[in-house]
Amino acid sequence: MLDLPADIKKVLQFNSLPDYQYLFDILIEVTSVLDEEKTSYRQTSSNGKLGSLIEFNDNLPIIVLPDLHARYDFLQNFLSHKLYKKANVPGITKATSVYQALKNGLINVVCVGDAIHSENNTAIRWEKAHEEFMNGKKTGKYMCQEMKDSLCTLICIMLLKIKFPQNFHFLKGNHENITNKSENGDFAFRKYADEGRMVCDFIREYYGDDILYLISCYEDALPLIASSPYCVISHAEPLKAFSKQQLIDARLEEKVVESLTWTRNNQAEDGSVLQIIKNLFADKNWNPENAIYLAGHRPVENKYNLRQNGLFVQFHNPREQNIAIIYNNRPFNPEEDIIGVEK
C-alpha cells in the first residue's frame, strides 16, 4: 500500500465500522460529484438529469473490475497492481501501479457493480448473522463484521470516484439497492440468508434513516452502462436490445434497469449484445467488429465464459481477483487480457 494515499489506506485498515459523520460527509461529497458529471462523457437524459450511459472518447486503456461483494482486499490488490507495458501504452512502465496510472490520467476504470453483500466463503457468517437477526439483534456481532467489510469496500469506491471523477466509474448492479425495494427495476435480494433486509435494517438501526437515504441517493446517481470504441460494459448480460436513447434514459424505464442488472444465464435474447453495440456505435462511426461486451453478475468457474457468438465475456469469479484490460491498439484476448491481481 506504499503508493496509496492516506485516506484510502485508512479505510483499508479499518478494524471497526466507520463512524456516522465520516460516512455522512463522504456520501454527501460523492453524490455531489456524480450529480455534476460532465456531459462530454455522460449525456443528459430526457428528464434533464444525467443519463445512465458513460461514453469514453479518449482512447485510453480501460480496466474492468467484476462484482466486488465486500472484497476490499481485491480493491487494495488492484490499486497496487503493476501495469506492465504489454501494449505500448504511453506513460505506463513496469513500475506503474493502477493507482499511479489513475492519478496521472493514463487509464479509465469501470467497476460492473455489486459493492456490498459478501459471498463465496462467508455463507456461514451470513447464517450466524441471520440467526442473530431472527433473535432481534439487527446489529449483532456477525452482522457488524459483514457491514465493516461492505462499508470499507463502498467507501473505497466512493473515495476513488471523488478523486478521479472522469477516469473511475462504478456501474449500478442488482445489489445497489440499499432499501431492498422491489420497484423501478430493482428486486429485494436474498441468497445465503435475507441479506437485503438485514443490511437495510442494520443501516437504519446503527446509523439512522438519513444515512440509509444518502446511500440510496448515491445508488440512484450511478450509471448503468459504459461504452468505448472497443467495448461495452454493464453489470449483467443485456436481456434484450435497447436503443442508445433508451440506455441514456435507463432510469426512466424499469425494464431497462432490470435488463442490465438482473439477467440470468441463457435468459438473454439472441443478438441482444451485438445490437446494443451497433446502437451505441452508430452515431460515433465506431466499428462494431472491433468491440467486445463485458459483464459480471453470474459467477463463472474459471476465468470467463463466452456467449452470443463470443461477443459477450462474463468474468466474475468470486474465488479469484481477476480484472479485464481493454487496450486501444489490439483486439481483446480473454486468455491474455483477463489477469489476476491477488498477492
Give pLDDT tens digits for 230-265.
Answer: 999 999 999 999 999 999 999 999 999 999 999 999
Q: Which run of H or of E encompasses 10? A: helix 6-12
Written as one string, the DSSP assignment of 30-97 is HHHHHHT--TTTS-B-TTSSB-SEEE--S---EEEE---TT-HHHHHHHHH-B---SS--TT--TT-B
* Residue 95, pLDDT above cutoff 90: no
Beta-strand pair 292-295/312-314: parallel
User: In whole numbers, what is the pLDDT of the chain averaged over residues?
Assistant: 94
* Intra-chain end-to-end CA distance of the chain, in Å: 12
Q: How many CA atoms lie within 13 A of 125 on its CB side?
A: 16
Q: Which domains does the chain have, with CATH numbers?
A: 6-340 (3.60.21.10)
The torsion angles phi and psi of 273, rounded to 5 degrees, stand at -65, -50
Residue 1 has pLDDT above 60, yes or no: no
Q: Which helix (H) or strand (E) holds 338?
A: strand 338-340
Q: What is the pLDDT of residue 87?
A: 54
What is the arrangement of strands in the sheet containing 53-55, beginning at the earlier edge strand? 53-55, 225-228, 231-234, 292-295, 312-314, 305-307
58-82 per-position pLDDT tens digit: 889 999 999 999 999 999 999 999 9
User: Stretch 144-167: mean pLDDT, rounded?
Assistant: 97
- DSSP reduced 3-state for 17: coil
What's the pTM value of the predicted model, to 2 decimals?
Answer: 0.96
* Cα–Cα distance measured from residue 109 to residue 156, given in angstroms and rounded to the nearest whole number: 14
Q: How far apart are CA 304 and CA 13, in angstroms?
A: 31
